[in-house]
């Protein structure tokens, strides 16, 4: 499946391209403090615990409160759109409102997921799931997003039904995060390739791009919470650097792994999600997906 200029189809191949190198920036570690700096009253640890708990409560409250005004805003935008079909300038403004609402929704979800990941409380409900069915929505959304950026989006999936024991919502979220990451850090006219295959009893989902790449300094920390917020400001806009941490948490909760490789800034990157396959049956080759 490939996407370019608003359409995509099943296809084979992984285009390549070169772009000017960009750089990553890691946050400087805090300065070393002397032993005397750690001398504190007995009540200090308790105050630190209270501060951490207060921080968690504030973040959870902010995430919840961000969602509150969105439903009436969405309803208002829908009503304005219905009565303004003959006013293109109004429709453009409504489109902008919809985009900003979606952005706020993503930020609030990032905050909630950050809290769950930090406390090991990511909820997972496992059932036998068809991998292709789980991937359908994330791949379709990614193809459309890539087309808007004039990116080439190619997908290869094994010609058989692959099933895993997993949470379909969380698995779709993990793959969506990998795809969103590739699209965000790949410039216009770049290339993204997705490969889904079975390696013995392991499902392998690979997302490869020729985008800005990852520096040696950032690569070991790429799955840490907020790590990507350290990347180039222009490229990191639109998220809190939580997505890849969620991917790692989802992978581990399914007895799987996720890894990243990059030759450095400007050399693109590849993220690989591996999950154990529990059922594997051969089926007929899938028909090509029609163009959007």
Higher pLDDT: 188 or 13? It is: 188
**Per-residue model confidence (pLDDT) at position 260:** 95
Question: Helix/strand/coil (H, E, C) string of the chain?
Answer: CEEECCEEECCCCCCCCCCCCCCCCCCCCCCCCCHHHHCCCCHHHHHHHHHHHHHHHHHHHHHHHHHCCHHHHHHHHHHHHHCCCCCHHHHHHHHHHHHHHHHHHHHHHHHHHHHHHHCCCCCCCCEEEEHHHHHHHHHHHHHHHHHHCCCEEEEEECCEEEEEEECHHHHHHHHHHHHHHHHHCCCCCCEEEEEEEEECCEEEEEEEECCCCCCCCCHHHCCCCCHHHHCCHHHHCCCCCCHHHHHHHHHHHCCCEEEEECCCCCCCEEEEEEEECCEEEECCCCCCCCCC
Which of 34-38, 45-49, 245-249: highest mean pLDDT? 245-249
Quick one: pLDDT at residue 236?
44
Across 98-102, 170-174, 248-252, least confident range: 98-102
- Domain regions of the chain by residue span: 2-26+126-282, 43-118
Average pLDDT over residues 249-277: 93
Q: How do residues 37-72 score in pLDDT, each as one tens digit?
A: 444 455 555 555 566 566 556 666 666 666 677 778
Distances from the Cα of 240 to the Cα of 3, 13, 95, 260, angstroms = 27, 33, 23, 19
**Residue 175 CB-density burial (10 A; 0-12 exposed, 13-18 middle, 19+ buried):** buried
pLDDT digits 0-9 by tens, 98-116? 877 876 776 667 667 666 6
**Position 73 pLDDT exceeds 90:** no
Q: Which fold has domain 2-26+126-282?
A: Heat Shock Protein 90 (3.30.565)
Integer distance in angstroms from the first to the last C-alpha of the chain? 11
Contact (CB, 8 A) for 268 and 211:
yes
Q: How many CA atoms lie within 13 A of 216 on its CB side?
A: 1
CATH architecture of the region 43-118: Orthogonal Bundle (1.10)
> What's the confidence (pLDDT) of residue 11?
40
Q: How many other C-beta atoms lie within 10 A of the C-beta of residue 103?
A: 13
Q: What pLDDT score was predicted for residue 285?
A: 41
Bridge partners (DSSP) of residue 197 are 204
Cα–Cα separations (whole angstroms), residue 229 to 24, 39, 125: 10, 33, 30
Tokens 């290339």 -> residue: 191
Query: Is there a shared CATH topology between the 2-26+126-282 domain and the 43-118 domain?
Result: no
Q: Which pLDDT band holds residue 148 (cuts at 50, 70, 90)?
A: very high
pTM: 0.64
**What is the Cα–Cα distance from 103 to 37, expressed in whole angstroms?**
42
Arithmetic mean of pLDDT over the chain: 75
Q: Is the dihedral of CA 280, 283, 285, 286 positive or negative?
A: negative
């Amino acid at each position: 499946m490939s996407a370019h200029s608003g359409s995509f189809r099943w296809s084979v191949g992984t285009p390549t391209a070169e772009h000017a190198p960009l750089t990553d920036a890691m946050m400087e570690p805090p300065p070393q403090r002397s032993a005397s700096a750690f001398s504190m009253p007995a009540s200090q640890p308790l105050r630190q615990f209270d501060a951490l708990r207060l921080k968690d409560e504030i973040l959870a409250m902010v995430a919840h409160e961000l969602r509150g005004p969105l439903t009436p805003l969405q309803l208002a935008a829908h009503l304005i759109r219905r009565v303004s079909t003959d006013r293109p300038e109004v429709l453009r403004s409504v489109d902008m409102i919809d985009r900003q609402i979606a952005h706020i929704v993503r930020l609030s979800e990032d905050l909630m997921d950050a809290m769950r990941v930090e406390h090991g409380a990511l909820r997972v409900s496992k059932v036998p799931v068809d991998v292709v069915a789980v991937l359908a929505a994330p791949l379709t959304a990614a193809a459309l997003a890539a087309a808007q950026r004039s990116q080439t989006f190619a997908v290869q999936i094994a010609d058989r039904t692959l099933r895993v024991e997993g949470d379909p919502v969380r698995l779709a979220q993990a793959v969506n995060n990998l795809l969103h990451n590739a699209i965000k850090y790949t410039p216009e006219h770049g290339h993204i390739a997705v490969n889904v295959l079975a390696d013995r009893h392991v499902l392998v989902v690979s997302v490869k791009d020729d985008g800005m790449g990852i520096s040696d300094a950032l690569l070991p920390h790429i799955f840490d919470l907020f790590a990507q917020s350290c990347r180039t400001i222009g490229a990191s806009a639109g998220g809190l650097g939580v997505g890849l941490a969620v991917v790692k948490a989802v992978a581990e909760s399914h007895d799987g792994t996720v890894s990243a490789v990059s030759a450095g800034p400007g050399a693109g990157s590849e993220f690989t999600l591996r999950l154990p396959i529990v059922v594997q049956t051969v089926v007929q080759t899938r028909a090509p997906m029609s163009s959007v």
